[in-house]
Every structure is written in structure tokens, then in C-alpha cells.
Structure 1
């Protein structure tokens, strides 16, 4: 997590510098506020990663002398041919269309479909306990 915290700390410095330059060159308050708030949020994330990295043991990503094989191992299970993510994206798009045109009936239908598709995605590989 040290690498991630370093990335966010560099982004924080860039956002603060950009906010200062933007403040000097432009007197537009919304952009100034947005840049300073972006820097602040980046600082919060970087600080969180820094605190978390102290509690975790060192990962291969944090060791500059690590080899690629040090990070080898089981990453997780990824479904090779699932159609549920497409269904989730479609129902989310349907909800967004309903929200854009303020069709409450479409948003309700899309939310129901979205909950069904999320359930399908989550429980796609769920196996029932064996009957004993």
C-alpha cells in the first residue's frame, strides 16, 4: 500500500499546485473550489493508504528488489463467460434514462431489474449446501 499512498500524495501535490496556479490566473470561484476539494480528497485517500500500509506486512509491490515471481499465486476466480455484467449495465443504463427524463415508472422498473441482475451476478456460482 506504500506505492498507492505515494501515488495519491503526488496527485495531491499536483492538485494543490494546479489550484494555486488556477487561482492566480483565473478568478472563477467554482473551479478554484473544485481543485482545492479534489486535492483535499486526494490527501484523505493518500493518508488512509499510508496508515493502512503500516499495519500490513510488506507486499511484493512495495519491495523494490522483488521479482515478478514473488507476486505469483492465486488471484481469484473470474467468470469466463458470464452475461450478468451486461445485464447489470443495461439495467443501470435504463435507470439512467429514466432519471434523465424523470420517468418515475421507468426508474422503478429499472431498479427492480437492477436488483434482480445484481442478485444473479452475486449468486451465479452459489452452490446449495448438500442435503445430509
Structure 2
């Protein structure tokens, strides 16, 4: 996780420096650029700090070591739901929400309901027993 954290920490520090230089050059009177660059720095630093915490918690992974072997990463990488229809319902909710931007804001309520049903269904799909649908 060292490489992943540096990918976000270094640009975060760069954007923090650039934000204050930009603010100093504009006398902190420009109300969009300085906060936008500052928020970009905050987002990058937040992700980088999270990856740094994961590095401390889990230690060095095989892909972080130079002496690692390929077979160290073999085995299950996680559980993925086969033949699930819930992502389709979630995608329908997302499509409805994007359509609501063009048609009207009133369509956002049914889109949120469909999206929430799809999200809860997908998350809770296997909570009633092994391979239950």
C-alpha cells in the first residue's frame, strides 16, 4: 500500500501548496479557485491517509515486496454474487435519476426509491441463507 498511498499523498501536498500560492497571488479574493484547489488537496490527502492506515493495519502485501512469489496471491480474492439481477435494478434507478435532470426534478423521487430498493436488495441478497435468492 506504500505506492498507492504515495500516489495520492504527493499530489495532495502539491495541490495544498498550489492552493496557497494561488490564494496569495489573487489576494484570497477569488472565491472559486482557492477553495476548489483546497478541496482537491483535501480529497487526495484523505485517500492517501486512508491507504497509509491500511498499510499499517495489514502490513506488507506480496505485491509490495521484491522477493515475493506469484503463488502468494493465489486463492479466493472475495465472493461475488453470480446471476444477480439487483445491479440491473440499481442501474435503472441511476438511469432514472439522470433522466430526471433533463425531464424534471419530480422524477428524482421515484428514481431514488428504485435505486434504494436495488441497493438494499443487492447488499442483502445473501443474508437469508446460503445461495438464497
TM-score, length-scaled by structure 1:
0.69
- Rounded to whole Å, the distance in 1 between the matches of 2:112 and 2:105 is 14
Q: 1:102 aligns with which of 98, 102, 105?
A: 105
Q: Which runs of 5+ in 1 are unaligned?
A: none
User: Cα RMSD between the aligned structures?
Assistant: 3.0
Which digits, 9 at most, give the CA deviation of each residue in 1:35-78, with x for residues without a partner? 12211332233233323422333221322322332222201122
- In the alignment of these two chains, the number of paired residues is 125
Counterpart contact for 1:3–1:61, Cα < 8 Å: no
The secondary structure found in structure 1 opposite 2:77 is coil
**Residue number in structure 1 paired with 2:15:** 15
Partner Cα separation in structure 2 for residue 48 and residue 12 of structure 1? 13
Q: Is the 8 A contact 1:5 1:45 kept in 2?
A: yes
TM-score normalized with structure 2 length: 0.69
Q: 8 Å contact 2:92–2:114 — kept in the other structure? A: no
CA distance in 1, matches of 2:113, 2:97: 10
